[in-house]
Amino acid sequence: MAKVMIVDDSMADLKYAESILTAASHRVMLCPSSEGIEQQVISSKPDVILLDIVMPGRSGYEILRSLRRTEGAKDIPVVVISSKGQPTDIEWGKRQGAAEYLVKPYSADALKAAVEKVVAGG
């Protein structure tokens, strides 16, 4: 299955996503901070990144834009996972380079489907 990197400042959200994805046989890496995330992505080469938007320091949008400019990271699909669920938020996330956008709270099935879709190239 896929190697999934989860970037979120909430340990509860990290553990929730991890439990869903490990049960679906994915390998999961947890990143509770956005600091140095570009280097972590380059060194670990995940198949997909799950990225929160509202975090201290840099927002997920800033990180996403940076990843899209970073050689070795720019082609890795990103699924935005955020409590910001207005249509304009979703559209903005996709314009920044997100392959998919999940609104918190999300179901286990929705998370698995989003990961499977982007890993399959959808």
The H or E element that residue 69 is part of is: helix 60-69
Give per-residue pLDDT as tens, 14-32.
999 999 999 999 999 999 9
Arithmetic mean of pLDDT over the chain? 95
**C-alpha to C-alpha distance for 20 and 118, rounded to whole angstroms:** 17
Q: Are 79 and 120 in contact (CB under 8 A)?
A: no
pLDDT category of residue 121 using cuts at 50, 70 and 90: confident
The count of residues in the chain is 122
Distance from chain centroid for Cα 100: 9
Give per-residue pLDDT as tens, 38-64.
999 999 999 999 999 999 999 999 999
Residue 58, pLDDT score: 93
Give per-residue pLDDT as tens, 65-100.
999 999 999 999 999 999 999 999 999 999 999 999
**C-alpha to C-alpha distance for 112 and 44, rounded to whole angstroms:** 21
Q: Are 82 and 104 in contact (CB under 8 A)?
A: yes
Query: Can you give the residue ranges of every domain in the chain?
Result: 3-109
CATH number of 3-109: 3.40.50.2300
